[in-house]
Amino acid sequence: MNRRGAIGIIGQAMFMAAAFPAWTQPAGWPRRMTDADGREIEITTPPQRILSSSVTLTGTALAIGAPVVASGTTVDGKFFAQWAEKASDVEQLWPAGRVDLESVLMIAPDLILVSASGADSALAQVAQFSAIAPVLVLDYARQPWQSLAEQLGQATGREDQAAALLAGYDRWIEEQRARMVLPSGPANIVSYHGPGMPNPVAIATGVHGRLLASLGFQIEGPPPDWPGTDAAAGDFVRVAYEYLPDLTAETTFLLNAGQDRVEAFMADPLLANLPSVRAGQVYALGETSFRIDYYSARQIVELLAAQFASGQAG
């Protein structure tokens, strides 16, 4: 390790000693957790300076009020639009896929969050991060944001805040569901890209499928033996464009889309005989719908509640 790195670690140790003298050790700490990478980690005191190397994890951490001071960004150097305004005090670090260890030392975090997968994963740097601060690896691709919130609550001492957030969200979902009049029949969720590209279709048990199911929709997932698909990856099956006409649901929701994408889908001659196209029941889930966290989930539900509140759709 070079001199700058040594100074950074010494500075971190001095910060922790000043913030949490031995005689004021909080009750219930240290805490030991098993992360998504199977490692046993120890977090000695409630974190005060969290560095999230994954922009996807940052939104859920912010939702429970965790003290995130710095975060990785999307590949184009931005935060997700659904929570960017909540992150005005969060320092933007590297774009997804480009880790800068020197900036980690300068931040002097007392907890580092890492995604187990995805373009914003820094899994290869866990050993180097661990020389600076405890590292918690979380797998957002295999669980809903609610369970991530619970894990982050445990890791940060904000269990009560996480529980309150989830309880309030559940009540709000029930309120929105009561306002809605849904179209009849099943619905599917498609990430539509057109010819020459995969067109992922959500599985019924994925995070998007569960979100719409919580509002009362019956989700049609792709057949498990559908020809021309890749293996299921997380919440989606990567469907060959030519097989989209095999979908049978009477309603289609388009992921990461606005009205322009709906119009393109409806005008696609290959899809003209889809039940949802014939019925005129194709709807956008919004531009922030690809990654589901507390903030994007609310935006999706607000959009659907407005769409179906009058019962005129379908």
Q: Residue 237 has what pLDDT?
A: 86
Cα angle 167, 80, 232; round to 5: 80
- State whether 228 and 140 are in the same domain: no
Q: Residue 236 has what pLDDT?
A: 86
CATH of the domain at 142: 3.40.50.1980
- State whether 118 and 217 are in the same domain: no
- State whether 271 and 216 are in the same domain: yes
Query: Is there a domain that residue 170 lies in?
Result: no
- Rounded CA-CA distance 72/92 in Å is 6
- Rounded CA-CA distance 121/126 in Å is 10
- State whether 57 and 200 are in the same domain: no
- State whether 153 and 50 are in the same domain: yes
- Rounded CA-CA distance 285/82 in Å is 13
Q: Residue 286 has what pLDDT?
A: 96
pTM over 0.75: yes
- State whether 155 and 9 are in the same domain: yes
Closest-CA residue to 120 (of 144, 159, 93, 146): 93
- For residue 226, what are the domain limits? 178-308
Tens digit of each residue's pLDDT, the chain (314 residues): 444 544 454 455 445 545 544 446 688 899 999 999 899 999 999 999 999 999 999 999 999 999 999 999 999 999 999 999 999 999 999 999 999 999 999 999 999 999 999 999 999 999 999 999 999 999 998 889 999 999 999 999 999 999 999 999 999 999 999 999 999 999 999 999 999 998 999 989 889 999 999 999 999 988 767 754 444 456 888 888 999 999 999 999 999 999 999 999 999 999 999 999 999 999 999 999 998 999 999 999 999 999 998 645 44
Count of domains for the chain: 2
Query: Is there a domain that residue 166 lies in?
Result: no
